[in-house]
Amino acid sequence: TTTDAATAAAAALPDDVPSCWLCLEEEGDGNEGYKESLVRDCSCRGTSGFAHLSCIVNYAKSEGKRLYEREGPSACMRPFKTCPNCKQYYQNDVHKALAKACVDFVEEGFEDKKNCFNHYNIYAHALMIQLAAMDGENVGEKAGGEEITTKFISLMEEVKSQLEQLEILDRGRFLIIRDAFINLEANGNANIGHFYMSMNSKEGQLKAKEHYEKARDLFKTMRPKEAEISVSEMNRIISEVESVLSGSEFHDEDEGADVNYLQRIYYECLRIYGHNSCMTIRAGVNLAKALLDETRTIEAEKLLSKLVDISLSTHGHEHRSTKEAMSVLTSARECKVVVRLDDVSGWFQALRYENEGEDCVVQGPIADPRNVDEEEQYSFESTRIIPFPGTPVVCHGLQKAAHLNGKIGDVRGLDVKEKEDGNKYFDVDIDRCVVHFEDKSLAPVKVKATNLRVVFDLPNETTPSR
């Protein structure tokens, strides 16, 4: 095969000289006859996986046609999305270039004349791949994204016209194909909504709402089991958009609904793609973010630590999935505290305990947005430290509830008395923290801050150090 031949030939080259695994030339000698750099936006390591972008595009087109003939329509998109060597998704500029090439591949005449619905299906998926790669805030990409949206809507109208004719000729086949395209149109409208939301403008938000509502209504016509999660997600997103448009704060009526939904998505990605896939890692990071929003830091940190280890092993330090997981993990490990002193305001990041736990070293105060260069380190008596919601803690020194000593949990809230200025988090009278324990058999309790210690390293974790 092409891959085997390229691998064998590349093995004859010096190990430290990257070359294009397709044309076997080094940097600057692309197959289009002009100087072209080598790129590698996948998960290959060492000197493997490098190629000229033009070579990757040409390979994807020829391999896409070959796969269509051998394995059918669902396979021909594969070379435009994943590297054939590491089997992982392309990202960044290579992802964008291949997304455009995928549309060109279909528009240039790759058509199944025996089955027009195969062509419609491939074309619709190609358009959505390209749209997903676009940023609505970028002026150039905004115009391109709107053009793709128009093409997709026109394509769906053409499909409906063909389906009307098929219903007369073959009712059974019509029902099967109709259901598949309802699902395709629903997901397409959801993706269009995501694109318009990325514009970060009122005009974009209004258009996004329109397409989310269209997607929801289409999902409702599908089988209940298949559509239940999608309808629920569309309703949640529509409510969020409406809150943004009205300038009000969004409150989900079902507390924890976002976590529950993202948990289902994460487990579904695990089932379909496996734990090494960047799709699964991204779903896990989204779940961790939702856990952090609910101050469930211990759960989030354990999940993120696992995701970082997997992504480092599979994709390497420079991959987008690794960087995103590490960034969120770093944020999760910011143990925020309040200092109980009249002349000290704001919150700080606790760094460590000194003098056998008598003193706590902190850094801050933390501004929004944070600027670490302007922060300073201080040492305060540990009795002056109040863990902020979201900070992992361990109980100690309890007498009436001695069974809780050594138990780890998250601070989920503060028992406060508001000052006259309404600044409740920095009230010197804050005395107790609401702790939810990692051990789910233990009920949440209010614990005096003096009986809590910040947990800087979760136990029994083979994870990157803080």
pLDDT tens, residue by residue, 128-147: 999 988 888 888 899 999 99
Q: What percent of the chain has pLDDT over 70?
A: 86
Assess whether pLDDT exceeds 70 at residue 30. no
- Using the structure block, give the residue that is written with the tokens 């789910």: 440
* Per-residue confidence band for 368, with pLDDT thresholds at 50, 70 and 90: confident
Lowest mean pLDDT across 16-20, 200-204, 412-416, 462-466: 462-466
Instruction: Give the tokens for residue 309.
Output: 């280890």
Q: Distances from the Cα of 147 to the Cαs of 128, 131, 141, 192, in angstroms? A: 12, 10, 10, 11
Mean pLDDT of 37-51: 89
Give the pLDDT of residue 15: 56
The per-residue b/e assignment along 100-119, b for 16 or more CB within 10 angstroms, e otherwise, is: bbbbebbeeebeeeeeebbb
- Rounded Cα distance between 452 and 454, Å, is 7
The answer to whether the pTM exceeds 0.85 is no
* Per-residue confidence band for 465, with pLDDT thresholds at 50, 70 and 90: very low
Helix (H) or strand (E) holding 122: helix 116-132
pLDDT tens per residue across span 307-357: 999 999 888 888 888 999 999 999 999 999 998 877 777 889 999 999 999
Instruction: Give the tokens for residue 56.
Output: 């990757």
The 3-class secondary structure across 68-104, one letter per residue, is HHHHCHHHCCHHHHECCCCCCECCHHHHHHHHHHHHH
* Per-residue confidence band for 51, with pLDDT thresholds at 50, 70 and 90: very high
Give the pLDDT of residue 13: 46
Residue 436 forms beta bridges with which residues? 410
Q: Angle at CA 336, nearest 5°, toward 330 and 341? A: 155
Instruction: Give the tokens for residue 433.
Output: 């923290």
What 3-state class would DSSP assign to 336?
Answer: strand
Average pLDDT of the chain to the nearest whole number = 86
